[in-house]
Structure 1
């Protein structure tokens, strides 16, 4: 089943918000995105991150 637009937008965050939630530096979050270590998509110059995933700090 396809989610509606509001549900999709409620489940994504940017690198700054992810850094605040996960307690990691924004640059480190962007590096994880670029390496494919977290669920994210780059749109233009902005990383869009799935906020429902595990904190990457716990994955290591």
Structure 2
């Protein structure tokens, strides 16, 4: 079993990943001025590397 590491930026537990490969940080880091690929609103998240606004992000990850 791999050793768990905690991301210094977001606190997520990382298993066999380096700090630079944190999937939570990748999703939350959005280039300044990025526009949502789906609706042209300002982007606040990333989904699989695509800038996404809050509304489209919530639609992609519904909470039931």
Per the normalisation by structure 2, the TM-score is: 0.32
TM-score of the superposition, structure 1-length normalised? 0.33
| Higher Cα Rg, which structure | 2
